Amino acid sequence: MRFSATRSAIAAAILSLSAVAVSAQESPECIAPANPGGGWDFTCRQVGKTLQDLGLIDSTMQVVNLAGGGGGVAFAEVVNKRGDDDNLIVAASTATATRLAQGAYPGNTMDQVRWVSSIGADYGVIAVAADSEIDTLPQLLDAIKEDPRSTSVAGGSAVGGWDHLKVLIAANAYGIEDVRQVKYIAFDGGGEAVTQLLAGSVQAFTGDLSEAKGFVDSGDIKVIAVLAPERLDGEFAEFPTAREQGVEAIGANWRGFYAPGNMSDEAYESWVSHISELYASDEWKQIMAANGLAPLDLQGAEFEQFVSDSVSQIQDISREIGIIR
């Protein structure tokens, strides 16, 4: 009788754990920590659609846009209110690591969440409106040198965030000694930043290729520099690098997901497995190629170590250019 009872208890536990793992597929949700149109929004929507197309989740991924604080509002929501939600993942990127590195999420650290997987890396771009008189990165940086207050650069991260750092790295490489002179305007997401560029409120945009591509295709903006070591392939080959214009600035934005810190191991492993399968699929390779994503294939503990290393590296960069002490 005791053996039978014990076996029944074990069976019940296994069924319970299986139910947890399955539940992560039945009502999946992704938080994009910015307004629609930016890179985090792209990450949630493209991954959610592809997971469903591949049959890796059983229902449509609910995408919730939770903007504010360069991702800080979403991070706090997950840590403080949804710490054990097995259905939830959150879009993250180098911008997330940047804010964590700089202590910009008050009271929050990277070890309060679980790092799931990367889905690729997105090179940074600097762009202007299609009708702008500026055609090259040196022309933009010269304008900033001559009159910093007359040239504003918009981005989808908070002040001191990754979008901001990218243009500061370019300015520093070009010989602008006090990069704090660069006038950066922060918006909640790359889509809103481009909207302000098109409205004439700012003179340039700093973001990622996936954010800029749709606006390039529509003829609204022109990319004056890609922050890649060399020109990208395919339809992106027409975009010049900063390096070939004499500006040694490189910036790759990884994209991936974190999950609530108290998510069950079963649900966590399920998410890691699903996104790993997605990454290996031909469908995702096509999406990467169409949106300028470079390869970056990391899951679970390996991805967590990568994020930890990124945070340390960004702290060093931020100190070097005076963002933090």
Instruction: For residues 231 and 258, state if they share a domain.
Output: no
pLDDT at 25: 58
Clarify whether residues 90 and 145 are in a common domain.
no
- 173 in the same domain as 81: no
Q: 136 in a domain, yes or no?
A: yes
Burial class (CB in 10 A: 0-12, 13-18, 19+), 19: exposed
Q: How many domains in the chain? A: 2
Please give the distance of CA 148 from its chain centroid, rounded to a whole number: 28
Look at residues 228, 251, 274 and tell me which one is the last residue of a structural domain.
251
Q: Domain for residue 186, yes or no?
A: yes
The reply to whether 235 and 267 lie within a common domain is: no
- 129 and 114 co-located in one domain: no
Residue 324 in contact with residue 98, Cβ under 8 Å? no
Half-sphere exposure in the Cβ direction for 163 (13 Å, CA): 33
For 212-264, how does the pLDDT look when each residue is reduced to its tens digit (9 = 90+)?
888 999 999 999 999 999 998 888 899 999 999 999 999 889 999 999 999 99
Domain co-membership, 117 together with 257: yes
Per cent of the chain over pLDDT 70 is 92
273, part of any domain: yes
Mean pLDDT score of the chain: 90
Predicted local confidence at residue 6, as pLDDT: 45
Give the domain-ending residue among 200, 221, 251.
251
Pick the range with the lowest mean pLDDT from 10-14, 62-66, 78-82: 10-14
Band (pLDDT 50/70/90 cuts) for residue 159 is confident
Residues 131 and 110 in one domain: no
Residue 127 lies in a domain: yes
For the full predicted model, state whether its pTM sits above 0.75: yes
Distance CA 170, CA 242 (A): 8
Query: In terms of Cα–Cα distance, which of 226, 166, 235, 223 is closest to 194?
Result: 223
Say what the pLDDT of residue 19 is.
45
pLDDT in tens, 84-140: 999 999 999 999 999 999 999 999 999 999 999 999 998 999 999 999 999 999 999
Per-residue pLDDT at 4: 45
91 and 178 co-located in one domain: no
pLDDT at 296 over 50: yes
The Cα–Cα gap between 143 and 134 comes to 9
Residue 5 lies in a domain: no
Q: Which domain holds residue 209?
A: 123-251
Are 259 and 118 contained in the same domain? yes
**Boundary (domain end) residue, out of 230, 251, 272:** 251
In a domain, 7, yes or no: no
pLDDT at 161: 86
Judgement on whether residues 157 and 207 belong to the same structural domain of the protein? yes
177 CB-near residues (< 8 Å, 6+ apart): none
pLDDT, residue 313, reads 85
CATH of the domain at 286: 3.40.190.150
In angstroms, how far is the first alpha carbon of the chain from the final one?
A: 66
In a domain, 168, yes or no: yes
pLDDT at 14 over 80: no
What would the mean pLDDT of 164-177 be, rounded to a whole number? 92
Helices within the chain (DSSP H only): 2-26, 39-53, 72-81, 94-101, 137-146, 162-174, 190-198, 209-217, 265-280, 282-291, 300-320
Q: Taking residues 4-25, what's their average pLDDT?
A: 45
Give percent of the chain with pLDDT exceeding 90: 72
Which one is predicted more confidently, 13 or 28? 28
Average pLDDT over residues 168-176: 93
Residues 235 and 214 grouped into a single domain: yes
Residues 135, 99 share a domain: no
* CATH code at position 152: 3.40.190.10
For residues 318 and 281, give the distance between their C-alpha atoms in angstroms, rounded to a whole number: 36
Please check the confidence at residue 39 and state whether its pLDDT lies above 80.
Answer: yes
Cα gap 120→136, rounded to integer Å:
27
Q: Report yes or no on 76 lying in a domain.
A: yes
pLDDT at 73 over 90: yes
